[in-house]
Amino acid sequence: MPKKPVALIVLAAGQGSRMQSDLPKVLHRLAGAPLMAHALAAGRALEPERVIAVTGHGAGRVGKALARLDPEAQTVLQAEQLGTGHAVAQALPLLEGFAGRVVVLYGDTPFIRPETLAELAGHPADVAVLGFEAADPGRYGRLVTGPQGLERIVEYKDADPATRAITLCNSGVVSADAALLAELVRGLGNDNAAGEYYLTDIVALARQAGRRVDVVTCDESETLGINTRAELAAAEAAFQSRARAAALENGITLSDPATVWFALDTAIGRDAVIGQNVVFGPGVTIESGAEILPFCHLEGCHVSAGASVGPFARLRPGAELGGDVHVGNFVEIKNAVLHDGVKVGHLTYLGDAEVGEATNIGAGTVTCNYDGVGKHRTVIGANAFIGSDTMLVAPVRVGDRALTGSGSVITQDVPDDALAVGRAVQVNKPGLATRLMEALRARKGNG
| Distance between CA atoms of residues 241 and 247, nearest Å | 10
- The answer to whether 140 and 134 are in contact (CB under 8 A) is yes
- CB-based burial label for 358 (10 Å; 0-12, 13-18, 19+): middle
- Name every residue whose Cβ is closer than 8 Å to that of residue 433 and which is 6 or more positions away in sequence: none
CATH 2.160.10.10 domain extents, the chain: 229-420
* Nearest one of 290, 359, 298, 305 to 331, comparing CA atoms: 298
The whole-model pTM stands at 0.91
- Name every residue whose Cβ is closer than 8 Å to that of residue 145 and which is 6 or more positions away in sequence: 151, 168, 215
Q: Give the C-alpha distances (Å, rounded to integers) separating 399 from 8, 344, 382, 383, 395.
A: 53, 18, 8, 9, 13
Q: Give the C-alpha distances (Å, rounded to integers) separating 271 from 99, 290, 291, 306.
A: 45, 8, 9, 10
Q: Which of 38, 339, 346, 376 is catalytic?
A: 346
Clarify whether 346 is annotated catalytic.
yes
Query: What φ, ψ does residue 412 adopt, rounded to 5°?
Result: -125, 155
| Architecture, CATH, for domain 229-420 | 3 Solenoid (2.160)
| Distance between CA atoms of residues 289 and 354, nearest Å | 23
CATH 3.90.550.10 domain extents, the chain: 6-223
- The answer to whether 360 and 385 are in contact (CB under 8 A) is yes
Q: Name the DSSP letter for residue 408.
A: -
Per-residue pLDDT of the chain (447 residues; tens, 9 = 90+): 557 899 999 999 988 889 999 999 999 999 999 999 999 999 999 999 999 999 999 999 999 999 999 999 999 999 998 999 999 999 999 999 999 999 999 999 999 999 999 999 999 999 999 999 999 999 899 999 999 899 999 988 889 999 999 999 999 999 999 999 999 999 999 988 788 999 999 999 999 999 999 999 999 999 999 999 999 999 999 999 999 999 999 999 999 999 999 999 999 999 999 999 999 999 999 999 999 999 999 999 999 999 999 999 999 999 999 999 999 999 999 999 999 999 999 999 999 999 999 999 999 999 999 999 999 999 999 999 999 999 999 999 999 999 999 999 999 999 999 999 999 888 999 999 999 999 999 998 875
- CB-CB neighbours of 284 under 10 Å: 24
DSSP H/E element including 208: helix 202-208
- Name every residue whose Cβ is closer than 8 Å to that of residue 185 and which is 6 or more positions away in sequence: 85, 88, 89, 92, 197, 199, 202
- Please tell us whether the domain made up of 6-223 is placed in CATH 3.90.550.10: yes
